[in-house]
Amino acid sequence: GAWGEPKLGFKEGKKLKKKEIKAGRYLAGDLQISYNSLLENGVTFIDTSESYGRSLTKKNLSAEHILGQCYEENSEVDPLIASTFANPWLHLLDGGGLRYGRRGLVKALEDSCDRLGAGVELYQVPAALYLGFPNALPDGLSQCLDKGLCNYVGVTNMGALRMKSMARKMDKRGASLTSNSFAFSLTNRKAWKSG
């Protein structure tokens, strides 16, 4: 999630000073080099979110904007892009307006596809409280699939019970959940038991 995120080293502009380089700062051009290297070496799965680098969205320097620029510069290999719907409350606080219902979800993915300049392989929604009728998320995800905006849908940070409920709702619509993305490591195994 560091692409386009100033707090994690990204800097606007065209040049870095020596002390910035030593401090691990980087520019959009550095990301193009990294992107090309990943694809050339067979790493084609890229996970992003409309919330990564959101403070620079108006300057077209969010993670999705930068990834779209990288793809435009090097379209020899199509990456498999996974993107995540931003927490709707953060979107509202950032001045992006209130998003609710299935239309809000579909519009968010359409906007992501515009920034990326490509469709999305996997679209995920977080477990955050979402405004809309109880079926807004499964209806919206199904509509994203039906419109061809993505090939697969999933969730992030959803507990086992809520994920099973979502899976049943998706199944009723003739679709299925492909993923549940969550923090997991050798030192953090909580999800092993909670789903």
In angstroms and rounded to an integer, the radius of gyration of the C-alpha atoms of the chain is 18
Is residue 10 within 8 Å of 26, Cβ to Cβ?
Answer: yes
For the purposes of burial, counting CB atoms within 10 Å of the CB of 109, is it exposed (0-12), middle (13-18) or buried (19 or more)?
buried
Helix axes 63-73, 28-40, angle to 10 degrees: 60
Phi, psi of 67, rounded to the nearest 5 degrees: -60, -40
- What order do you get walking across the sheet with 177-181 strand by strand? 45-49, 80-84, 120-126, 150-156, 177-181
Residue whose C-alpha is closest to residue 144's, from 117, 116, 173: 173
Chain-centre distance for alpha carbon 42: 21
Residue with tokens 């809000």: 104
Residue whose C-alpha is closest to residue 50's, from 109, 106, 136, 126: 109
Chain-centre distance for alpha carbon 140: 16
pLDDT tens-place values along the chain, 195 residues long: 455 666 767 777 778 888 887 888 877 788 888 889 999 999 999 999 888 777 667 777 688 888 898 999 888 888 999 999 887 777 777 777 788 888 999 999 999 999 999 889 999 998 776 767 778 899 999 999 999 999 999 998 888 888 899 999 999 999 999 998 887 777 877 777 765
> Residues 13-54: pLDDT tens digits?
778 888 887 888 877 788 888 889 999 999 999 999 888 777
Per-residue pLDDT, 172: 95
Q: How many CB atoms lie within 10 A of CB 22?
A: 9
Model pTM score: 0.82
